[in-house]
A and B are shown apart, each in its own frame.
Chain A
Amino acid sequence: MIELLNNLGDGLAFVMGVIPILTITLGVTMGIIAGATPGLSPSMGVALLVPFTYAMSPTLALILLVAIYIAANYGGSITAVTINAPGTPSSVVTAFDGYPLTKKGKPGMALGVSLVSSTIGGIVGTLILIFFSGPLARFALKFHPAEYFALAIFGLTTVASLGGKNWNKAFIAAMFGLLLNTIGIDPISGVSRFTFGLSFLYDGFALIPALIGLFALSEIFKQLEGGNFANLQMDAGKQEWPSASAYWKLKNTILRSSFMGTIIGIFPGAGATIAAFISYDVTKRLSKKPEEFGKGSMEGVAAAEGANSSSVGGALIPLLTLGIPGSASTAVLIGALMIHDLTPGPQLFISNPDIIYGLLASLLLANIILLVLGFFGSRLWIKVTTIPKTVLFPLIFAVSIIGSFAVRNSFFDVAACLAFGVFGWILRRYNYPVAPIILGMVLGNIAETNFIRAVMMGGWTVFFTRPLSLGMLVVAAASFAVPLIQARKQKQSPEQSN
Chain B
Amino acid sequence: MKQVINDNRVKLTLRGLGIIIILAGLLLLAPKAYGAFPEKPIKVVVYTGPGGLIDISARKFAGIASKYVDVNFVVENKPGAGGIVALKKVIQAPADGYNLYACTKSNIAKFVQVGGEGYLDALHWTAMLMADPECVITNRQMDIHEWPDLVENALAVPGEQTWVGPAAGGLDHVTALKIWDKYGMDAKWIPFKSGGKALAALLGEQGLAYVGNPRDALGNPDLFIAAVSAPERLEAFPEVPTFTELGMPGLENEFMWRGFALKQGTPQEVIDWYDDLFKKVTADEDWKTFWSKGGLDVTYVAEPEFSRLVAEDAEVFEYYLKKSDILPGDAVGFLAKLAIGSQFTIFAILLVLVWLSSSYVVYRSGYSALLGRFMVIGFFLLVSILFLVQSMNFPSSSAVGPAAVPRLWITMLIPLNLLLMIRTFRKNEAASESGPRVDIVLSFIGFLVAYLLLMQIFGYFLSTFVFILAGLYYLGYRNTRNSLIISGTWILFSYIVFYKTLYVPLPLGSLFQNLF
Contact surface of A with B, Cβ cutoff 8 Å:
40, 43-44, 46-48, 50-51, 140-145, 168-169, 171-172, 175-176, 178-179, 182, 185-194, 196-197, 199-200, 202-203, 220-222, 224-227, 229, 268-269, 318, 322-325, 331-332, 334-336, 338-339, 341, 343-348, 388-391, 393-395, 397-398, 401-402, 405-406, 408-411, 414-415, 418, 422, 425-432, 445, 447-449, 451-453, 455-457, 460
Contacts and interface: CB of A to CB of B under 8 A. Distances in A.
B169 A325 contact: no
Given A318-B200, A430-B376, A331 B441 contact: no
Contact of B193 (A46, A187, A341): A187
A410 to B, nearest CB: 7
B304 interface: no
Contacts of A336: 51
A331 B196 contact: yes
A397 B471 contact: yes
Interface string B49-86: 11111011001000000000000000011111110110
A79 to B, nearest CB: 16
Contact of A225 (B200, B384, B437, B456): B437
B33 interface: no
Contacts, number: 305
14 contacts: A47-B49, A144-B206, A172-B417, A187-B167, A203-B80, A323-B220, A346-B221, A394-B467, A394-B472, A401-B452, A409-B77, A410-B80, A415-B452, A418-B452
A196 B490 CA distance: 37
B475 A406 contact: no
Contact of A189 (B49, B402, B451): B402
Minimum-distance CB pairs A-B, first 7: A345-B219, A394-B471, A343-B219, A47-B51, A227-B437, A202-B81, A141-B204
A426 B433 CA distance: 10
A440 B79 CA distance: 23
Contacts of A344: 219
Nearest to A427: B376
Interface residues of B, number: 118
B372 interface: yes
A171 B362 CA distance: 25
B218 interface: yes
Is the contact region of chain B dominated by helix, strand, or loop, or is it mixed? helix
B444 A224 contact: yes
B404 A221 contact: no
B190 A457 contact: yes
Nearest to A342: B219
A48 B50 contact: yes
B423 interface: yes
Nearest to B507: A411
A168 B502 CA distance: 42
Nearest to A413: B80
A391 B483 CA distance: 8
A337 B169 CA distance: 29
Interface stretch (B224-232, B305-313, B391-399): B391-399
Nearest to B384: A179
Given A46-B51, A345-B218, A193 B406 contact: yes
Interface stretch (B11-19, B241-249, B267-275, B408-416): B408-416
A167 B110 CA distance: 42
Contact of A398 (B341, B390, B405, B490): B490
B39 to A, nearest CB: 24
A339 to B, nearest CB: 7
A445 B406 CA distance: 11
A268 B201 CA distance: 10
B287 interface: no
B486 A391 contact: yes
A269 B194 CA distance: 10
A202 to B, nearest CB: 4
Contacts of A225: 434-438, 440-441
B333 interface: no
